Structure 1
Amino acid sequence: MDEATFATWSLRICLSGLILFLVFIVYDLGKKSQAGKWGMFVLFLVLGLGVLGFLGKEILIGFLIK
């Protein structure tokens, strides 16, 4: 396995783990602060938009390179 392949797989695996950990952190933060349904929705919406922005950037870069 060359370095580029290892870096690609490492990024995908570690970033997925980080995103799952962030979901847990936001959920725990919402529960401890008693945010309610609307507060939890806003917290997860903001986290989801950040993740979608990152994924959209990667997809756009993939299309532009090909």
Structure 2
Amino acid sequence: MEIEEFESLMMTVLITGFCLFMLFIMWDLARKSNAGKLGTFIIIGGLGLGMLAFVLKGVVIELILGGSV
């Protein structure tokens, strides 16, 4: 395995782990603040919107470049 392949794999794994950890933090924040269903939706929706934009940016770039990166 070349260093570039390893870096690409680790970046994918670590970013995925970081996103999952951020989701856990949002859920825990909503639970500890007794936000209710609507409050939980707003917390996860509002804070998760930035994370969703980051993921969609990567998808759009791959679609535009045709996976030739």
**Above 0.5 in TM-score?**
yes
Runs of 4+ in structure 1 off by over 4 angstroms are none
Q: Matched residue pairs, number? A: 66
Deviations 1:5-59 (A, max 9, x none): 1111111111111111111111111111111111100111123322221111111
Aligned to 2:62: 62
Runs of 5+ unmatched residues, structure 1? none
Aligned to 1:20: 20
Provide the alpha-carbon RMSD of the alignment: 1.4
Matches within 5 A, 1:1-66: 1-66=1-66
Q: How many angstroms apart in 1 are the aligned matches of 2:29 and 2:14?
A: 22
8 Å contact kept, 2:30–2:43 = yes
Q: Percent identity?
A: 36
The two structures have a TM-score, normalised by structure 1, of 0.82
Q: Which has the higher contact order (CA 8 A, sep 6+)?
A: 1
Runs of 5+ unmatched residues, structure 2? none
